[in-house]
């Protein structure tokens, strides 16, 4: 069974509501995401988790590398390491995407499987129709959360010359 | 009392471990289910294990099943702490032997409420 595109399953307001809850719980009770469209910088980093099931895609958190570091400091503020290392940023930023993704997945048709968090350059998205995007600002830093359908699979066999 | 926090995220281990330490627990950490089993075989048998679901090597459900299959570990209280919130997943975890289920994101108060339900909250200690 294939689910309809994400825009028929979840809307931006719902994703924003999930993000608000995650921000308050993981960053602090005074931390809010302001739903304002703001342009992302040229250099960005993304953290995401894949969702596999009737709907296939990923939940992706994207921001500037410096914002990812700042998010990490806030996630770890109550229990910080002595020195913030690159691995801490990858780990905490990935966990934010993991918690966002798990809560988004709970609203999608199931059963679905959540992948492990990944951090890197923004993964390719599928059709714009299958993408739900929230742009927001946190402490003056722009970021985006996208729930995006998987890019179409490559079928190299279709390019083979028939015998 | 002793607690074992099992999560592949170091950040989440620090957060959960810090909250439990605030409640008076002696806390050890493991990055996956197999590391947790290794720690238990080595002698750290906790009163409480807080377990993420999605982890490499050995996931939380496999860990719960492994602990429940060993009669020597019958006293260990198992609490899933995970983003997996589908009803079917919660039922699977409880059927495998988990005692409680806490969905991320959570607050320190939410963990305290669960500990209270499980009878693991020292009355004179607050987070």
**CATH no. for residue A64?**
3.40.1550.10
pLDDT for res A162: 46
pLDDT for res A84: 75
Tell me which CATH code domain B2-104 carries.
3.40.50.2300
Partners of residue B105 in chain A, C-beta under 8 Å: 21-22, 24-26, 99, 103
In Å, what is the CA distance from B104 to each residue of A112, B15, B53, B123?
Answer: 17, 12, 11, 25
Helix (H) or strand (E) holding A95: helix A86-105
Kindly indicate the confidence band of residue B125, based on its pLDDT and cuts at 50, 70 and 90.
Answer: low
State how far residue A106 is from chain B, nearest Cα, in angstroms.
6
Nearest CA in chain B to A26: B105
Give me the interface pTM, i.e. the ipTM.
0.85
pLDDT for res A160: 47
Q: What residue ranges do the domains of chain B occupy?
A: 2-104
Q: Report whether B47 contacts A125 (CB < 8 A).
A: no
**SS3 at position A30:** coil
Average pLDDT value for residue range B68-81? 96
A162 assigned to some structural domain:
no
Domain total in chain A: 1
Evaluate if residue B44 carries a pLDDT over 90.
yes
State how far residue B107 is from chain A, nearest Cα, in angstroms.
6
Distance of CA B95 to the CA centre of its chain: 16
Partners of residue B89 in chain A, C-beta under 8 Å: 111
Q: Which residues in chain A land under pLDDT 50?
A: 156, 158-163
Q: In this complex, which of B54, B88, B106 lies closest to A110 when CB atoms are compared? A: B88
pLDDT for res A80: 65
Q: What contacts A118, CB < 8 A, 6 or more positions away?
A: A47, A48, A49, A50, A94
A140 assigned to some structural domain:
yes
CA dist A23 and A31 (Å) reads: 6
Interface test with A, best of B32, B56, B105 (most A CBs within 10 A): B105
Q: Residue B83 and residue A105: Cβ atoms within 8 Å?
A: yes
Mean pLDDT value across chain A:
88
Average pLDDT value for residue range B1-8? 97
């Amino acid at each position: 069974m294939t689910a309809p595109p994400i825009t028929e399953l979840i809307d931006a307001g719902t994703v924003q509501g999930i993000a608000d809850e995650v921000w308050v719980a993981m960053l602090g009770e005074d931390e809010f995401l302001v739903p304002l469209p703001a342009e992302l910088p040229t250099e960005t980093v993304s953290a995401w988790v894949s969702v596999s099931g009737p709907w296939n895609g990923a939940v992706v958190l994207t921001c500037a590398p410096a914002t990812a570091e700042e998010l990490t400091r806030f996630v770890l503020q109550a229990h910080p390491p002595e020195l913030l290392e690159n691995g801490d940023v990858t780990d905490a930023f990935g966990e934010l995407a993991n918690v966002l993704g798990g809560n988004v997945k709970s609203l999608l048709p199931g059963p679905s499987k959540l992948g492990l968090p990944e951090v890197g350059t923004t993964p390719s998205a599928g059709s714009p129709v299958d993408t739900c995007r929230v742009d927001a600002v946190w402490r003056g830093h722009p970021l985006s959360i996208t729930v995006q359908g998987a890019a179409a699979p490559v079928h190299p066999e279709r390019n083979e010359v028939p015998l | 009392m002793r607690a074992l926090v099992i999560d592949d995220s170091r950040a989440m281990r620090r957060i959960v471990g810090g909250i439990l330490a605030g409640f008076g627990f002696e806390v050890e950490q493991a990055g996956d289910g197999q590391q947790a089993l290794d720690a238990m075989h080595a002698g750290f048998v906790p009163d409480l294990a807080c377990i993420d679901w999605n982890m490499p090597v050995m996931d939380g459900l496999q860990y719960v099943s492994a602990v429940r299959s060993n009669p020597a570990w019958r006293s260990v209280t198992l609490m899933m702490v995970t983003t997996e919130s589908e009803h079917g997943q919660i039922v699977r975890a409880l059927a495998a032997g988990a005692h409680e289920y806490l969905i991320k994101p959570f607050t320190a108060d939410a963990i305290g409420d669960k500990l209270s339900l499980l009878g693991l909250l020292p009355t004179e200690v607050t987070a």
